[in-house]
Amino acid sequence: MELNLALGFGLVTASILALGAVGFTLQFGITNIFNLSFGQVMTVGMFAAYLINVQGGQSLWVGVLGGALAGAVVSGFLNKTVFMPFLRRGVSLDGIIIVSLAVGLVLENVMLAFAGPSFKAYNQPRTHSIHVLGMILTVQQLLIIGISVAALVGLHLLLRQTRLGKAMRATAANAGLARTSGIATDRVTMIAWCLSGALCGAAGVTFALNLATFDTTTGSSLLLVVIAAAVFGGVGQPYGAMLGALVIGLATEFAALVSPNLKEVIAFAILVVMLLVRPDGLIPSAATKETMGAR
């Protein structure tokens, strides 16, 4: 019984993590940047949805869309004004990590200055819970799973069925070669940042929704769990990130049965072990091989 409950919560957590981890990895796969401001962009999404839902009186689901849009805009803006210029100048990836930390600090504290330190909550319609196979989930949680699945299927179709997706995979596999083959890699990179930001914003809103309350630090507290999921399946690989999200989501919820404090620690332990033992992830070169053997 308890196990079934944990399975249900695990699936919800996995859905949220999948949005974030796929977003994180999409950007990393193309630029190789460990973007540590990703957590704060999630918080931007949370606040955008809050403005739409609570201040604007719109439905929460419009809020999720708004959060995704805000994430995409902020992420694209950061690429245009900060990350791309630093990369062009040839700053090392280590240097750019420090830049991304600084960007996160700025974002988080701008929000703190405007919104204050208090906890916020969305206006959620009261709904009954639904029992499925011993799992008890609210309608919102089912919708979170639905949003995540829809977004990821959409992304899958984009990557596999469109020219843009092909260009993105080519850029991720070998940017130099892609550029020589006539792919506008700068534009592809920009689109990747925006898509990454949209998924990031959606992850933020759904996470805050599931938590019930959030503040300006909620996104950054989730960052390393998202990175753990992204690294698990091989950072830079969207499908690996989905697998990682599922594993980490379930692992954290089952660990919570033993002790709630273990929740984060288990995700971090997985992150550390993966970085040490298999820094290329569980399925190292599958995606690369596939992309290289272009159709």
Partner 1 sequence: MTTAWQFYFITLLTYSGVNIIAAWALNLQYGLGGILNFAFIIFQAVGAYAAAVLTLGPAGGITTFQTYVGGAHLPWLLALVVATLAGGVLALLVGLVALRPKRTDYQGMVLLTVAIIAAVVVTDEKGWLNGASGLVGVPKPFNESLGLGLIEYGWFYVGVVAVAVVLVFIVIHLLTSSPWCRQVRAMREDPVAAEALGLNVPARRLQVFVIGGAIAAFSGALLVGYIGSWSPGAWGPGETFLLFVCIVVGGLGNNFGAAVGSVLVLTVLFNGLAYLPIFSYTTAAEALQLVLLGLIVIAFLWFKPRGLFPERRRRFAFPSAGPDRGTAVAVEEAR
How near is the Cβ of 216 to partner 1 at its closest, in Å? 9
Cα–Cα distance list, 239 to 105, 156, 157, 235, 244 (Å): 30, 9, 12, 10, 9
**Largest Cα span, the chain:** 57
The residue with tokens 């940042």 is: 193
The residue (of 166 and 193) whose beta carbon lies closer to partner 1 is: 193
Per CB under 8 A, the list member of 5, 139, 250, 275 interacting with partner 1 is: 275
Burial tier of 128 (Cβ tally within 10 Å: 0-12, 13-18, 19+): exposed
Smaller CB separation from partner 1, 47 or 151: 47
Taking CB under 8 A as the rule, does residue 91 contact partner 1? yes
Q: The tokens of 120 are what? A: 């916020």
Q: Which of 34, 38, 47, 239 forms a contact with partner 1 (CB under 8 A)?
A: 34
Around Cβ 279, how many Cβ atoms within 10 Å?
11
Contact stretch for partner 1 (CB under 8 A) within 89-97, 136-144, 162-170, 287-295? 89-97
Between the two ends of the chain, the Cα-to-Cα distance in Å is 47
Q: Does 172 bind partner 1 (CB under 8 A)?
A: no
Q: How far apart are CA 196 and CA 149, in angstroms?
A: 16
* Under 8 Å between Cβ of 234 and 280: yes
Size of the site for partner 1 (CB under 8 A): 38
Length of the chain: 295
As measured in angstroms, the least distance from the Cβ of 259 to partner 1 is 9
Q: Does 272 bind partner 1 (CB under 8 A)?
A: yes
Residues 234-263, one symbol each (x = binds partner 1 by CB under 8 A, - = not), give: ---------------------------x--
Asked if 188 and 50 count as a contact pair (C-beta separation under 8 A), the reply is no
Q: Identify which range of 80-88, 172-180, 202-210, 281-289 contacts partner 1 by CB under 8 A.
A: 80-88
Per DSSP, 235 falls in state T
What does the alpha-carbon distance between residue 83 and residue 78 come to, in Å, rounded to a whole number? 6
Report the amino acid identity of residue 177. L
Closer of 61 and 268 to partner 1 (Cβ)? 268
Between CA 14 and CA 265, with CA 120 as vertex, the angle to 5 degrees is: 40
Provide the 3-class DSSP secondary structure of residue 60. Answer: helix
When asked if residue 103 is in the footprint of partner 1 (CB under 8 A), the reply is yes
Q: Which is nearer to partner 1, 139 or 224 (CB)?
A: 224
Q: Pick the stretch among 68-76, 103-111, 126-134, 241-249 that binds partner 1 (CB under 8 A).
A: 103-111
Task: Based on the shown chain and the rule CB under 8 A, indicate whether residue 268 belongs to the binding site for partner 1.
Answer: yes
Q: Which residues bind partner 1 (CB under 8 A)?
A: 34, 82, 85-86, 89, 91, 93-95, 97-99, 101-106, 108-110, 112-113, 116-117, 224, 227, 231, 261, 264-265, 268-269, 271-272, 275-276, 279
